[in-house]
Structure 1
Amino acid sequence: MVALRDRVLSVDILRGITIVLMIMVNTPGTWAHVYPPLLHAEWSGYTPTDLVFPFFLFIVGISIVFAYQGKSVDSATYRKIIVRSLKLIGLGLFLGAFTIHFPFFKDFADIRFPGVLQRIGVVFFFAAILYVNFNWKVLIGICASILIGYWLFMGFVPIHGVAPTFDRAPNNWSNYLDLHILGTHMWKDDYDPEGILSTLPAIASSLCGIFTGLILTSKKPSKEVVLLGLGGALLIVGSLWAPVFPISKANWSSSFVLVSAGWANLVLALIYYLSDVRKIKFGSIFRYAGSNAITIFFLAGFIGRLMGSIKVDGENSIHSWLFKNIYVHDFMSMELSSFLYAFTVMCFYLLLAYVMFRKNIIIKV
């Protein structure tokens, strides 16, 4: 762990903002009425919501630098990395399998194997192992190789003699592998946004965070300017790549990795300048959420499942009853009602994070 006096406040704030946004976009009052920026792009392109998860993986990379820079690489280090990865994967699998009905787990065929926490665990494992074994020059080469290799494989290697596609189709390599390896254990019948092959470029997202972490822990002056330059460069390269490898969170395309890392650097540069350079005090509530980020996210997922499953009147779940009876009114649009419900949920978990912080309850996963 990094001593409190050595922490980069902007990273803590960005982590907290990211985790509560992940919760908010996952819990609208009704999925039938959501403002477009709070939805994922249908396939290609991206919305602000599509940037939230890669931001978190980016911060995972920064945290790896803070946690392991200068540490000796021994069996204890590898053991800690492995244990943390398995905890994250285990929590994700539990959320995917849990049901309120006895015996409290879904039928095996209905359990979704991939998921957000599972991807965080896998990405953390590989990014951390790479970081403790290679210098930044080798890591840049590995990151570039992942992104270019993923593009070439996805775009040019035929599937049983059929030209591959980046679209949502059976001849999309990511969809094809998920369907033939995971079978029924996917989010949708034909693809999973946290699938097997697309986890590879997700590791590159975390490597981009490692490069930013190395900048933040260096003695370089005007780090906010460096981050702005890096963010702008990544945005440009990703946008130039997009015509031949479309930006897509569903595929976690290489252009998406660069564009999302570009935005992450730009946002971090602004927060870094305000909090770490100008010493303007703001965003403490998000720091509290960031200190228990995984715990808060897991609780939001678990409680959300309970509220969506437990019936209060034989017809409506707790979730739908609260939404219909408190947030739905003739004088406001359904989109606004749905947003206010999600905003309330986000505020609840911010308050929970604050209480946990004040009581010095820090649960490290």
Structure 2
Amino acid sequence: MRNRILSVDIFRGATILLMVLVNTPGTWSNVYAPLLHADWHGYTPTDLVFPFFLFIVGTSIAFSYKNRTVDAKAYRKIAIRAFKLVALGLFLGAFLIHYPFFKNFSDIRFPGVLQRIGVVFFFTAILFINLNWKKLIWVTGILLIGYWLLMTFVPVEGVASTLDRAPNNLANWIDVKVFGSHNYKADYDPEGLLSTIPAMASALLGVFTGLILTSDQEKKATILMGLGGSFLILGHLWDIVFPINKALWTSSFVLVTAGWANLILALIYYLTDVKKLEFGSIFRYAGANAIVIYFLSSFISKVMGQIKIGETSLHGWLFQNIFVHDFLALKTSSLLYGLSVVLFYSLIGYILYQRKIFIKV
């Protein structure tokens, strides 16, 4: 199991460091296209990052709860961990460095990345410890097909639903009705309520990968490659009628991102477990404390954005005075700033790992 978990840690760490990179450019006005989200339909490498993490959440559930113990203690531990993730997410969204130290209630965003991770973890873990793999396949199919039917056939206030960014988009409409001013944008939230349903499917597909890695199957890398290729094909076929869209977390998006996740994880597994190559340690260090690194990077970034230095923030001052040069394009300077942040948190991951500090959230 050690090497199998190692390959998952490498993938998790690479995902979290890429998440840090895309979240902390020097300036949002100058970012290379692959490091930006798609405007609406379609996907970029950046759009793979969050679903990859949910996928690994599912894979880790298959490792951590493989004994499928069903009792009050198991439910309590799952609920407490989910609650902590949601609470940390809400804290990040509300925190201010100056008095009154928290935003006005009406300005606090309720959905968010950590909130979605917490909710998805809770339901996926509960399903996993109660259902066998055959029933989990049925649940995953129902989630994906059910979401597609809801988004395409259920009218919004008497108007046919659309998949465009519009008031009669069912997912957006529900977020506005439920959360009001507490959304990421006035008209939608990429981590909204209804789209959490297919996000659970992203984690469940990761569960199946975890079951394969913990099984006695031979040629696991080959199986994962075949699974990943199949998901990619199915996802792109579904894209014809249900476009790939990260903001809506469409069913086609779930399949395509799970496809890429399986292909990449299969490659890592082949190199580390089959060929016994030593590589990717820096990612393993970050992966061992992934949530901690994500929280710290988000928190420190918020603090640096709120500390004012003249007409700019501490973040802006560092970018302008260290990374901006006449001989560099602004996009390159912005990328170098992001890479320096990644290096910083890689170092933190390394220190925590070497001191055997593993913080469970």
TMscore range, shorter length? over 0.9
Matching residue of 1:323: 319
| Structure 1 position 7, deviation (Å) | 4.7
Instruction: In structure 1, give the amino acid aligned to 2:345.
Output: Y
Matching residue of 1:174: 171
What's the TM-score once normalised by structure 2's chain length?
Answer: 0.99
What's the TM-score once normalised by structure 1's chain length?
Answer: 0.98
Matching residue of 1:213: 210
| Structure 1 position 34, deviation (Å) | 0.3
| 2:70 alignment partner, one of 64, 68, 73 | 73
Kept in 2: contact 1:22–1:53 (CA 8 A): yes
Q: C-alpha distance in 2, partners of 1:39/1:363?
A: 30
Alignment of 1:18-57 (within 5 A): 18-57=15-54
Matching residue of 1:190: 187
Instruction: In structure 2, give the amino acid aligned to 1:331.
Output: F
Alignment of 1:1-365 (within 5 A): 5=2, 7-312=4-309, 314-365=310-361
Instruction: In structure 1, give the amino acid aligned to 2:296.
Output: L
| Structure 1 position 8, deviation (Å) | 2.4
Instruction: In structure 2, give the amino acid aligned to 1:363.
Output: I
Q: C-alpha distance in 1, partners of 2:7/2:358?
A: 19
Kept in 1: contact 2:55–2:202 (CA 8 A): yes
Q: C-alpha distance in 2, partners of 1:37/1:323?
A: 21
Deviations 1:209-234 (A, max 9, x none): 00101100000000000000000000
Q: C-alpha distance in 2, partners of 1:293/1:332?
A: 32
Q: C-alpha distance in 1, partners of 2:299/2:69?
A: 37
The 3-state SS of whatever aligns with 1:183 is helix
Deviations 1:221-272 (A, max 9, x none): 0000000000000000011000100000010000000000000000001000
The 3-state SS of whatever aligns with 2:312 is coil
Q: C-alpha distance in 2, partners of 1:248/1:349?
A: 30
Instruction: In structure 2, give the amino acid aligned to 1:262.
Output: G
Q: C-alpha distance in 1, partners of 2:156/2:114?
A: 30
Kept in 2: contact 1:58–1:205 (CA 8 A): yes
Kept in 1: contact 2:13–2:290 (CA 8 A): yes
The 3-state SS of whatever aligns with 2:181 is coil
Kept in 1: contact 2:3–2:272 (CA 8 A): no
Kept in 1: contact 2:190–2:246 (CA 8 A): yes
Kept in 2: contact 1:143–1:207 (CA 8 A): yes
Kept in 2: contact 1:46–1:249 (CA 8 A): yes
Kept in 2: contact 1:8–1:276 (CA 8 A): no
Identity among equivalent pairs (%): 65
Deviations 1:156-207 (A, max 9, x none): 1111110100110000001000001100001111110000000110000000
Instruction: In structure 1, give the amino acid aligned to 2:217.
Output: K
Kept in 1: contact 2:4–2:273 (CA 8 A): no
Consecutive unaligned residues in structure 1, runs of 5 or more? none
Deviations 1:256-310 (A, max 9, x none): 0000000000000100000111110001111110111000100001000010110
Q: C-alpha distance in 2, partners of 1:354/1:173?
A: 44
Structure 1 runs, 4 residues or longer, greater than 3 Å off: none
